[in-house]
Structure formats: structure tokens, C-alpha cells
Amino acid sequence: MIAPSHTLRLGWVTAAASFGFFVTQLDVTIVNVALDAIGQAFGASTAQLQWLVDAYVLALAAMLLSAGAIGDRVGPKRAFVWGLVLFGAASAICGLATGPISLVMARAAQGAAGALLIPPSLALIANAAHGDDRGRAAAVGWWTAAGGVSIAAGPVLGGLLVETLGWRWVFFINLPICLLGAVLTQIVAPPTLPRKTTPPDVTGQLLAAAAVTLVVGALIEGGHRGWRAGPTGALVAGLLLVALFLFHQRRAAHPAMPLRAFARRPAWLAVVVGSTLNLTYYGMIFVLGLYMLRGLGWPPGKAGLAFLPLTATFIVSNLASGGLVSRFGAKVVTASGVLIAACGYALTARLDGSSAVLEMLPGFALIPGGMGLAIPALTSGLLASVDRHEAGAASGALNACRQVGGAAGVAIFGALAGTNVVVGVRLSGIIAAALLAGAAIVILLPLREKVARSAG
């Protein structure tokens, strides 16, 4: 029997750990409705605004590959608290930035600090649960829900802050969140000692960071400047570094991304589908923010409130996903969620230069509703398909690939909206719906083959 004091302590630790996941996911989307104000303040181009989003996501993705090992080496509690301190400091520098280049660099620092918050926060929960499997599962569910809520609430909060206090407050708002999280963690989290761990894969980390930066940078610059020598050369160099990274991972004694963990179909499928989900979502949120601000001429507050349905639907579907997976299986729930999100994107393809909030509502409800079902089911399917000792590295690799997919989505969809944001949002909706429909078919194809063999 679990003592009430244990349950209470686990609840408080979960709350503290959730501050870290909340703030990292919040900063993925909170800047989207502030982009127009930042662009006007600094005279920034659309490409520079894309870098404001992608610098954060790319640094977060690159550092996630090693964040778990760093947390083990210094102790999860210490890594988490220092991650919050560094994230708060980087946020303050963002808010004080004097130009687009300094802001992009500070956003990259934010992303690197944010990576230190995700694996150690889960380690804090696991340490506090201490053999309580049911309590740990419930705690991870609430931790996941905190991230889902924050990523959906980002545009709403960002719009209100831009209109009332100014765009710099979309970064300053992180300071009290980080302070609260750090203080609460110090008070309620049990001490965690450093553990003997394998050395970090520094070479793999550097190759991954360079590869994704070159590829995504080429997509951003090529989409706006045309595919001249610079962007084309950067893309080729980036793809060569991707191949070199994969080659290194096969030969490294302690790889940042254990490729053998992704040999089974459910594991590599989780990476492909997860990256596609983030590509479509991050890309569409970026384009929709510009569409409301520039295409419809809405003020930031109204644009932010238009995203409100994303928050509510994310909460409901995220919390419902676990029960549905238990009943129907991860594969069916993942495919269903992907198809629901695809229908939402298809509805955004109908938007024009005079759309009202009510016209956006169905799509804005279906997109997070489907994603909230699919992502927990996807993660569950991945963890069930890998060995237990590889679960942490596999989960970190999945989240890193999802973030890279999101950065690519901002680059690709942002390029579509570069000349005409109304045309861009419609094309983005069509492409997103097609990509997810294809992903759902790939997920369900083995089921159809199995049924066909049984019938034969």
C-alpha cells in the first residue's frame, strides 16, 4: 500500500518537474504572435523571423541527444535547477536584445538550456515514484499534459502580452516561471546523486548540431533567396554531415543516438511519424500567426485568442490517449489521431483573406485533438519496442527528431508564405493534410496486410 505522504511528495515533485517541461514547450510557440511586432521593431525580414523560431528549436533538438547523459553525470536535481537558471538568464537576454542577430543567438541559448530540463525532469519523477508504477504513470501523464497545454497556450499568452506589455514580455514571462520551478524543486525534490554513466558522444553531438543547422538554414534561405550557390551548397553539406553522423553512430562505442534501438519497425516509424507531426504543427502555427497578423490585419491579442481552442482540445485528447491505448492499442490510436489532425489541416486550406474566427474553429479543434491522441500513443509504442536500458536514449532521440521536424516545418511553410501569406496558409494546409494522410496509411498498412493474409 502506498503511503499518503509518498503520494503527496510525488505530486509536488511532478508539479516542480512540470515547470521545466511547461516553459520549454511554451517558448516553442509563444513568439509566433509576437513576430510581426519584433519584425517592425528591428526591421527584420521573414527569413530572420523564421530563424527566431528555428534557432530555439534546433538548439533544443541538438542538445537533447546529450542532455540525459549530462543529467546522469551531475545528478538530475542539480541539472534541472541549473537548467532553469540558465533558461531564465537566456530569456532575460532575449528580452533585452537590441537587434535580430542578438535575439537569434539568445534564442539558441534558450534552446540549449531547455534541453537540460526535459530528461532530468523525468528522472526526478522516476526517483520520487520509487517503485510506484501506477503513481509514476499518472505523474508522467500530468507532466506530458503540462507540455501539451503550454505549447497550445503559447500563442494565446503571447498575444495578450504583446498587446498589453510589449513583445519583450514574451521572454520576460519566463523569469518568474523558472524562479518558481527552481525554488519548488529545491524544496520538494529528494536529493539525487550523480550516477556512473557513459561519456557523452561529443563528436556525434557536434555533427548532429552542424547537420541540422545547415539543412534547415538552407531551407530557410533557399525559400526566400532562391536556390543559388549558397543555399544549395549548405544543403548538400548538411546532408553529407547527416550521412557522416549516421556512420559515426554505427561505429561509436557510446553513440548519442543508438541506431540499433530503431531497427524494429515500431521504433523507426515513431521517429518518422513524430517528426511529420511536428513538421506540420510548428510550420502551420508559424504561418497561421503571420496570416492573422498580416493577412487579416488582426491585433496580437485577437490573434492569440483565436488559438485558444488548441489549448482545450490538447488537454482532453492528451489525457484520453492513455486509456484508449490500453483498450485499442498504440497503433490504432496513433493512426486515428494522425487522421483527425489531417482533417483539421484540410479545413485550414479553405481560409481566405476575410475568414472569421468561427471559420477557423473546426480546424483548430481537430488539429490538437488528433495530435494529443497520437503523440502519447506514439511514445508508448516506441518504449514498448525497445530494450529497457535503451528507453532513455531512444526517447531522447525521438524528441530530438521531432524538434528537427518542427524546425523544418517552419522553414518550408514559412517559405510558402513569404510572398502571399493567404496563399501560403492554404498551400500549407493542403501539404500538411497530405503528409499526415500518407503517414496514417503507412501506420495501418501492416494491419491491412495481416487481414489480407488471414482472409487468404
- Pick the residue with more confidence: 21 or 46? 21
Q: Which CATH number fits the domain that encloses residue 331?
A: 1.20.1250.20
Average pLDDT over residues 119-129: 79
Judged by phi (left if over 0) then psi (alpha if -120 to 50, else beta), residue 316 lies in alpha
User: Which of 214, 231, 255 represents a domain boundary (last residue)?
Assistant: 255
Q: Could you read off the pLDDT of 242-282 as tens digits, one per residue?
A: 899 889 888 887 777 777 777 777 778 888 898 999 999 98
| pLDDT value of residue 104 | 93
Do 298 and 247 lie in a common domain? no
Do 33 and 131 lie in a common domain? yes
Say how many Å lie between the first and final Cα of the chain, rounded: 51
Average pLDDT over residues 72-85: 87
Do 265 and 246 lie in a common domain? no
Calculate ∠ Cα 223-224-228, nearest 5°: 75
| pLDDT value of residue 213 | 82
- Are the CB atoms for 98 and 5 separated by under 8 Å? no
| pLDDT value of residue 166 | 92
Do 316 and 220 lie in a common domain? no
Do 128 and 245 lie in a common domain? no
Q: Could you read off the pLDDT of 285-327 as tens digits, one per residue?
A: 888 888 888 888 888 888 888 887 776 677 788 778 777 887 8
pLDDT at 443 over 80: yes
| Longest Cα–Cα distance in the chain | 69
Do 188 and 242 lie in a common domain? no
Quick one: pLDDT band at residue 35, thresholds 50, 70, 90?
A: confident
| pLDDT value of residue 325 | 80
| Residue 246 exposed, middle or buried by CB count within 10 Å (0-12, 13-18, 19+) | middle
**Alpha helices, H only, 96-192:** 100-115, 118-129, 133-164, 169-172, 174-188
Do 247 and 345 lie in a common domain? no
Question: Which pTM was predicted?
Answer: 0.79
Do 99 and 166 lie in a common domain? yes
Do 287 and 241 lie in a common domain? no
Quick one: pLDDT band at residue 387, thresholds 50, 70, 90?
A: low
Long-range contacts of 195-200 (CB under 8 A, 24+ apart): 195/72, 195/73, 195/75, 197/69, 197/72, 197/73, 198/69, 198/253, 198/254, 199/69, 199/254, 200/66, 200/69, 200/70, 200/73, 200/254, 200/256
| pLDDT value of residue 390 | 62
Instruction: Please tell me the total count of domains within the chain.
Output: 3
Do 293 and 233 lie in a common domain? no
Do 299 and 183 lie in a common domain? no
User: Which of 171, 195, 219 represents a domain boundary (last residue)?
Assistant: 195
Average pLDDT over residues 112-141: 77
Do 342 and 281 lie in a common domain? yes
Q: Could you read off the pLDDT of 202-228 as tens digits, one per residue?
A: 888 788 888 888 888 888 777 666 677
User: Which of 195, 212, 228 represents a domain boundary (last residue)?
Assistant: 195
Mean pLDDT of the chain: 83
Q: Which range marks the domain in which residue 267 is found?
A: 261-456
| pLDDT value of residue 223 | 67
